[in-house]
Amino acid sequence: MRRKIIALFLAIAATGLTGCGNGTDNEASTANTEQASSVQHETQAKDRKDRTGQTEQSEVGKSKIVHQKKGIGDKITTGPFDIELTDAQIMTLEPSPDFKQMFGGKDKVTAITLALKSENKSENTNSIYLNQGTITTNTKEQKQADLLLSDDVGGDYIGNIEKNGQIYFILDSPAEEINSVTFTADAPHDENFSTIGEKVTFTVNFDK
């Protein structure tokens, strides 16, 4: 449940990026999360301005947006999939005492958020796992996506469907020192687990 609260907090702090966390532990928490998600999406629709430098405070902790790029619009085609990187953000998070254990006991971490759209253009069932991708940074750090925090922008696409959402990465490098990130994910495969495309790669330069 705490990871879902963290995901929702990061999503709200990233106003204007797409997606939200998935699921809860019981009916009451589900209702609360759905209500918060509804508010989040209404806010996103009204506010897409640059929020670099803005801080947020909640039970999770204190966050500050360090870098933000919206409307990136980088697109690639790999096999039957059309994939677009729409937005990216780097923020610092100082976890509150109740949530610090979720971040390895650290006083401060960096969270990178990538918002992606992915569509299977085929009528066949195909698979791609964007929410299990990896990023590397100019600070020489490499991290896999936090699967529990990230939206379900992956798995099986049963026919011509589209998935949108955010992928989260938790890093140790100071957010202020990160100005370039490269995201990679494995190539898609079909129902027979045969590779049907190329590896996915996006690079974001925050100083351009």
Q: What is the pLDDT of residues 95-144, one digit of tens each?
A: 999 888 888 899 999 999 999 999 999 999 999 999 999 999 999 999 99
What is the structure's pLDDT at 49?
56
Measured distance CA(124)–CA(76) in Å, rounded: 20
- Give the burial string for 18-57 (b: 16+ CB within 10 Å, else e): bbbbeebeeeeeeeebeebbeebeeebeeeeeebeeeebe
Identify the pLDDT of residue 99.
87
Long-range contacts of 100-109 (CB under 8 A, 24+ apart): 102/2, 102/3, 102/6, 103/170, 106/172, 109/170, 109/171, 109/172
> What stretches of 121-187 show up as alpha helix (H) in DSSP?
none
What was the pLDDT predicted at 56? 81
Which parts of the chain sit beneath pLDDT 50? 16, 18-48
pLDDT of residue 208: 74
The values of phi and psi at residue 3, to 5°, are -65, -35
AA identity, residue 157: Y
* Alpha helices (runs of H) in the chain, residue ranges in sequence order: 2-13, 27-46
- What pLDDT, on a 0 to 100 scale, did the predictor assign at position 13? 63
Domain 51-205 -> CATH class: mainly beta
- The answer to whether the beta carbons of residues 94 and 66 sit under 8 Å apart is no
| Residue 31 pLDDT | 45
Rounded to a whole number, what is the largest CA-CA distance in the chain? 49
pLDDT at 12 (0 to 100)? 61
**Cβ atoms of residues 168 and 111 within 8 Å:** yes
For the chain, the structural domain boundaries read 51-205
Look at phi and psi of residue 64 and say left if phi exceeds 0, alpha if psi is from -120 to 50, else beta. Answer: beta
For residue 17, the model assigns a pLDDT of 53
User: How much is the pLDDT for 42?
Assistant: 44
- pTM given for the model: 0.78
